[in-house]
Amino acid sequence: MMRWDPFKEIEELQERLAQAMAMPRARQAEGRTFAPLVDVFEDEEGLHFAVYLPGVEPEKVDVTAEDETLTVKAERPFEQKEGVTWHRVEGLYGTFIRSFAVPATFDLSRVKARFKHGVLFLDVPRAEEAKPKKIAIEVEQ
């Protein structure tokens, strides 16, 4: 006995509709916005993000920091080729966007970004005011 999987039925229906319309699913999704997968961790240095953007070119990535919000926006356009019949298109195409509320204890004016193997790494250092400070103790005689 097989378990009923509603998502599998939805996927099969999408594929049949795409075939009936002779248009890949990626084209149907054009104009939609997707949220990429993200890993976030914090250490003594600050807040660290790994944003997964497979197939996205680094020049198609935009990172903005404003009003305690860090936003990553990227685009992976679908390239329709003449004379090509698509049998399956499972990759995500279109605009990818993800925003994060970042507490004031981190300094968004000093974000460092690097892109490697389809992963965008963002490092947000702690704000100077938020770092622990050693207080000198005066000794009175």
CATH number of the domain residue 103 falls in:
2.60.40.790
Query: Number of folded domains in the chain?
Result: 1
Characterize the bridge pairing of strands 69-76 and 94-101: antiparallel
- CA distances for 60 relative to 19, 21, 49, 75, angstroms: 30, 30, 18, 6
Distance from chain centroid for Cα 66: 17
Q: What is the pLDDT of residues 18-59, one digit of tens each?
A: 656 554 444 444 555 678 899 999 999 999 999 999 999 999
Q: Is residue 15 part of a domain?
A: no
Q: Is residue 62 part of a domain?
A: yes
Identify whether the C-beta of residue 132 lies closer than 8 Å to the C-beta of residue 105: no
The helix or strand, by DSSP H or E, that contains position 7, with its residue range, turns out to be helix 6-20
Q: Which pairs from 36-42 meet CB under 8 Å and 24+ separation?
A: 36/72, 36/74, 36/96, 36/98, 38/98, 38/100, 40/100
Q: Is residue 122 part of a domain?
A: yes
User: What letter does residue 4 receive in the DSSP assignment?
Assistant: P
Q: Is residue 16 part of a domain?
A: no
Q: Is residue 70 part of a domain?
A: yes
- Picking from 130, 126, 132, 128, the residue whose alpha carbon sits closest to that of residue 106 is 126
Instruction: Look over the chain and give the mean of its residue pLDDT values, rounded to a whole number.
Output: 83
What pLDDT tens digit does each residue of the chain (141 aa) get? 556 666 667 777 776 666 565 544 444 445 556 788 999 999 999 999 999 999 999 999 999 999 899 999 999 988 888 898 888 888 888 888 999 999 989 999 999 999 999 999 999 999 887 667 777 878 888
Structure tokens at 97: 């966007």
Domain extent for 37: 32-80+91-128
Q: Is residue 141 part of a domain?
A: no
Q: Is residue 7 part of a domain?
A: no
